[in-house]
A = this chain, B = another copy of it.
Amino acid sequence: MSATRVEELETPVLTIDLDRVERNIESMQAYCDEHELAFRPHTKTHKLPQVARMQVDAGAVGLTCQKLGEAEVMADAGFGDIMVTYPLVGWQKAERLADLAGRVAMSVVGDSAVVAGGLSEVLAERGVTVDFLVECDTGFGRTGVQTPVEAAELAECVSALPGLRFAGLMTYPSLAPSGPWLKEARAETEKRGLEVASVSGGGTPRARHTHELGVITELRAGTYVYGDRTCIALDCMTLDDCAVHVLATVVSRPTPDRAILDTGSKALTSDPVPVEGIDGFGYLLEHPEAAVYALNEEHGYVDVSLCDAKPEVGDVVRVLPNHVCVAVNLQDDVVVHRSGEVVDIWPVAARGKLR
């Protein structure tokens, strides 16, 4: 691609507005600095060492990854402090974690003695030590121990295991009820004579309320760096904050009311916006009245009945995705621009990485 303006690129293509990315990074780091929170941005949103570098240069203490494969990419790119916020199960993952721990400072999370024990066995054998945070389900209903007492008990178990260093408590996402929950878990843990060095909370939607909880010492957030339609629906970012768009071409206008884009679930994801009353699979910047009412893998179905100026075959439109992390994972490379002027093309180095 030798185009110099994003509109000239072959579609579909995911573009990143670097000015907006810089602004988002600065703003969230300033929030954390103001409230003396350590900031550990989640790389699952961008999957790019280039953006991770901007985040660390701005003041982040380290990175968050969801998969070991992502952590390996970031370690290879020179980052020295990585937390994998996912329970690692199985000997292959323990061995890979040991490899990483021999090169960089690693921390992991888990919600059971089975997970901790499996890691400990391999890490101790390999002579390396990894920080372990107890994952707490403070209301989301996914992974995590179910009560503050369970958290303290697992902390006690972990602190006795070779190869692991008990490093604190972790939750996702941090919501209002997470505050009292984590305070109680910290007290229960300290009652057992253990130090709770870190209480790590996460999630973009409530990120700027983290200090109100009065217990969290470290924030993890990913989506804040790009924004998406869900962030707008949740009222934590504006349309002008959103840095990522998928450029699409109208390939068919079979009826007066229907336009078909060359951008389907294979470029945008079929994830809905998880907010009552918000339908559709993307927002068209050039046609705010249009509704992306369905997706197939390569087709985006757009109802243009309410558009004053209807898009024609060959028109290129910018689509704001529902869920940017997933959209990024579908791209082999992304185009970086400033005000529409292409400045670089980056391979998405940590794309895929299922394991």
Residues on B with C-beta less than 8 A from A297 are: 44, 66, 325-326, 329
> What are the interface flags for A60-101 relative to B under an 8 Å C-beta threshold, 1 for contact and 0 otherwise?
000000110000000000000000001111101100000000
Shortest distance in angstroms between A112's beta carbon and chain B's nearest beta carbon? 6
> What are the interface flags for A232-272 relative to B under an 8 Å C-beta threshold, 1 for contact and 0 otherwise?
00000000000000000111111100101010011101110
Q: Decide: A12 and B354 in contact? CB cutoff 8 A.
A: yes
Q: Does A102 contact B (CB under 8 A)?
A: no
Partner of A314, one of B66, B114, B326, B352: B114
Main secondary structure of the interface of A (DSSP, over half): loop
- Contacts A67-B298, A142-B260, A260-B142: A254 and B137 contacting too (C-beta < 8 A)? yes
Q: Decide: B267 and A270 in contact? CB cutoff 8 A.
A: no
A to B CB contacts below 8 Å, 10 in the list: A10-B355, A11-B90, A89-B262, A89-B313, A111-B252, A112-B313, A114-B313, A141-B258, A142-B299, A146-B255
- Contacts A66-B298, A296-B142, A355-B11: A90 and B252 contacting too (C-beta < 8 A)? no
Q: Decide: B90 and A10 in contact? CB cutoff 8 A.
A: yes
Q: Does A331 contact B (CB under 8 A)?
A: yes
Q: Decide: A355 and B13 in contact? CB cutoff 8 A.
A: yes
Q: Does A144 contact B (CB under 8 A)?
A: yes
Partner of A86, one of B298, B325, B354: B298
Binding site for B on A (CB under 8 A): 10-13, 44, 66-67, 86-90, 92-93, 111-112, 114-115, 118, 137, 141-146, 249-255, 258, 260, 262, 265-267, 269-271, 296-299, 301, 312-314, 325-326, 329-332, 352, 354-355
Q: Decide: B354 and A267 in contact? CB cutoff 8 A.
A: yes
- Contacts A13-B355, A66-B297, A92-B10: A87 and B252 contacting too (C-beta < 8 A)? yes
Partner of A266, one of B10, B11, B312, B354: B354
Q: Decide: B67 and A142 in contact? CB cutoff 8 A.
A: no
Residues on B with C-beta less than 8 A from A312 are: 114
Q: Decide: A10 and B142 in contact? CB cutoff 8 A.
A: no
Q: Decide: A10 and B93 in contact? CB cutoff 8 A.
A: yes
- Cα A301 to Cα B143 in complex, Å, equals 9
- Cα A144 to Cα B355 in complex, Å, equals 41
Q: Decide: A143 and B92 in contact? CB cutoff 8 A.
A: no
Q: Decide: B313 and A251 in contact? CB cutoff 8 A.
A: no
* Residue from A44, A89, A92 whose CB has the most chain B CB atoms within 10 Å: A89
Q: Decide: B352 and A332 in contact? CB cutoff 8 A.
A: yes
- Contacts A269-B270, A355-B10: A254 and B144 contacting too (C-beta < 8 A)? yes
